[in-house]
Amino acid sequence: MSNTVTDKSRRYFGTDGVRDIANNGVMTPEFALKLGRAYVSFLMQKGIKRPEIAVGRDTRFSGPMLEDALCSGIMSAGANICKLGVIPTPGVSYVVAKNEFNGGAVISASHNPAEYNGIKFLDDNGFKLSDGDEIEIESHLDTDRASRPVSNNLGVSRFDVKYFYDYQTTLKQIISGIKDKNYPIAVDAANGAASALIGPIFDCWNADVTLCGNMPNGMNINNGVGVTHMDFICNAVVKNGARVGIAYDGDTDRVLMCDESGRVLDGDIMLWVIGRWLAKKNTLGAGVVATVMSNMELEDVLAADGIKVFRCGVGDRYVLDTMRTQNCRLGGEQSGHIIALNYANTGDGLYSGALFLTAVSELNEDISTLYDRFDKYPQILRNVQVKNKDYIMQSTEIKNAAHEAERMLWGKGRTLLRPSGTEPLIRIFVESRDSKLMNDAADMLEEKIKTTILEG
């Protein structure tokens, strides 16, 4: 199977909001203020006269600066703010969905280093905005159509800690409901938004819990910890004799696990386990949604239980769109971004990790065997630097090469060409159990891209 993915780029919004080095590029207080005004203008155009917006952030040093600027912009346009403080992105989603808010805003750069920060928005159900919505917000940036109220028509700001504790209580309930809590675990909060949560929500665990990456100082978020540095939790598991390790990213929308030997259990393995559990409960829907990057083994192992896999483009918003279209209640990415719609409206690392442990318990799974039983297809990922990603992706020669790769791998593997969302790169992905065929297809595609660059 061959796939060619094109980049539907916006000027400021990427696959997960607006993101840049804080106080540099676009992620400045001035831009955050304009973005807040544009968001309110967008909501008011939908008929909401005085929007109520929940705002949360992660632990970055730049968070309060951007929070103040964003909230100033929102209030200057006549909307009210409820500050939630430091809280995971899915926590903001939960609060918006369960309460009378017209939208939400999160100040976070997720898995990126501490010097980065970002802003993303949610709708009144706690879902991330669509591409079209973000394009519309950008149009309001150009004209600054937001109102300029005066006197008591200005927006007001409040802080309410009860929403944080409501979210925490919900998480504690799902973890306390896990039948088997009698083995040691290790948990890594990435010095991010879950740092204050992991202690209380795992209080009910019956065995030893090793807490890691839960001492944020503003600059150590994702620094050698979390899902982008799995060696940290893997070593902690082995060192402390834990049976499983759980690692989050900075804003806690992603989670990855590892077994007692320190072997990473990625999002594909989590989808396999949780998918079978939901199917057994008759709450899975039509199947499981995975991106084009998920390993072909996921289709094989789920097919053994009669579960269908639906593929979509890379990015959690595309996972969610496909879940809605295909009537699936579970979807996600290899990277550990799992959406379980029966429990949360966005990727929630805390929920997903707890659901995995619940599924393991109720399916009587042996965590130590999952890695070996999930026999991954070998994969190649190559990056080719280019000046014009659109020119390459729209080239007839490249499209013909992709079709030729499809012919080469028919029935034995698949290929994917996609532009990087953040760098001047074309990514070549090939997957097959036939290593020679896999390398031949990758070589052919790489050579064709380089030739096209020279000819262009």
End-to-end CA distance of the chain: 28
Contact 359, 343 (CB under 8 A): no
382 burial via Cβ count (<10 Å: 0-12, 13-18, 19+): middle
| 307/41 Cα distance (integer angstroms) | 44
Per DSSP, 17 falls in state B
Pairing of β 185-188 and β 209-212: parallel
Amino acid at 30: E
Rounded Cα gap, residues 382 and 403, in angstroms: 18
8 Å CB contact between 88 and 82: no
Distance CA 54, CA 52 (A): 7
Q: Where are the beta strands (DSSP E) in 149-286?
A: 157-159, 185-188, 209-212, 244-248, 255-259, 264-265
Token readout for 137 is 């917000």
Euclidean distance between CA atoms 167 and 214, whole angstroms: 18
Strand partners, 20: 117
The vertex-196 CA angle with 246 and 26, nearest 5°, equals 90
| Residue 14 DSSP code | B
Provide the annotated active-site residues.
110
Sign for the CA dihedral angle at 112, 253, 214, 163 comes to: positive
How many whole angstroms separate alpha carbon 105 and alpha carbon 119?
7
Question: What residues does 431 pair with on adjacent strands?
Answer: 379, 414
- Tokens at residue 341, please? 């719609």
SS3 257: strand
